[in-house]
Amino acid sequence: MSTFALTNAQVLTDNGFLSGIAVLVENGRIAALLPESELSNDLQRHDLHGDYLLPGFIDVQVNGGGGVLFNNAPTVEALRTLVAGHRKFGSTGLMPTLISDDVEVMREAVEAVRRAIAEGVPGVLGIHLEGPYIAPARKGTHNADKFRVPDAAEIEMATSLDNGVTLITLAPERVPAETIRAMVARGAKVCAGHTAATYEEARAGLDAGISGFTHLYNAMTPLQGREPGVVGAALEDADSWCGVIVDGVHVHPASLRVALAAKPRGKVVLVTDAMPMVGSDDPSFDLYGETITAKDGVVRNAAGSLAGSALDMASAVRNTVHLVGLPLGEAARMASTYPAQWLGIDGVRGRIAEGLAADFVALDRDLQVSATWIGGERE
């Protein structure tokens, strides 16, 4: 692979944005950050014309993209299409997400992700199984006919991915604590979501090994004065991560600011919960035999429940700046550094630092994507 330097950018480093710094890339990794004046004259350079250079975005909840819904096509080719649909919006790593489905579909999805990673499909980091171990009372657009409690064989299948990260969203009041412990012991990261749990049940789930909350505020019991609910447990707990959908629809900006104030820095992460229309010209897709269409950027099923989103990660970052009021650097970390920490891959991805993967996104002054790189390869 080639050696080159990215120059003339506002580079988001561990010390904030720096200018006059070149990012040297060798064999798909960041070899050094050094003053542009120290670059050798014969080195290939890519002038970014003053754009922001950020770590590539990492999305832990992606149901579809590029016209593909993972549930409908749990194949390697579908994953290639899905990740390509999101890459144009700055996502250089993602967790293809399978919502509640039958055992055989789950098995096919895990195998497709295993093969995609083995074949080097750019951007596939693992799998997110969102359900089917969730609560009918907070099902959203999930099909309650698919809901169940996993037995030992299903636990083994759901946690069988051996070359990537596995994230499982479940309702702690529906799944025994010993099952959560077994999943965690087998290497899975377990999140609470689509749950009607009480505060006490959510706390018991945290004690059993739950380490995150899927799309905070949505499809979970709310924070109230005498019943803190799942939201209260999530905001109180200092160690867990919370995914948030910053599209101006799923969560009010004030509620997002409350979460950011309550949680330690780095524990609130941007996710898209994206559906197939991201990266596609088709606003419709089929889910469980029902045609779902995005209208005015909002995705709902026939019953009126939110059915994922039409959000891309670059828009999530812009919204975090403009709607929530965070600086670009922090919004970018919520889309890159902090998700990498959540997934346990922060030693490989999520920052622009020596030794890490050369995964980048360049944003212009309007915070629109101008280029992406995965492993040093520019799209």
- What distance in Å separates the CA atoms of residue 295 and residue 121, rounded to the nearest whole number? 32
Residues 6 or more apart whose CB falls under 8 angstroms from that of 185 comprise: none
273 is catalytic: yes
- Considering 247, 273, 312, 359, which one is annotated as catalytic? 273
User: For residue 94, what are the β-bridge partners?
Assistant: 59, 124
Residues 6 or more apart whose CB falls under 8 angstroms from that of 265 comprise: none
Q: Which two tokens stand for residue 245?
A: 């959908």
**Residues annotated within a binding site for substrate:** 141, 218-219, 226, 250, 306-308
- Distance in Å from the first CA to the final CA of the chain: 15
Which amino acid makes up residue 55?
A: P
**Residues annotated within a binding site for Zn(2+):** 130, 194, 215
How are beta strands 126-130 and 91-99 bridged, if at all? Answer: parallel
In three-state secondary structure terms, 84 is: helix
- What distance in Å separates the CA atoms of residue 105 and residue 307, rounded to the nearest whole number? 20
The string of DSSP letters for 265-277 reads: TT-EEEE--B-TT
Task: Name the CA radius of gyration of the chain, rounded.
Answer: 20
Q: Which two tokens stand for residue 194?
A: 């689509």
Closest CA to 54 of 321, 284, 351, 355: 351
Active-site amino acid positions: 273
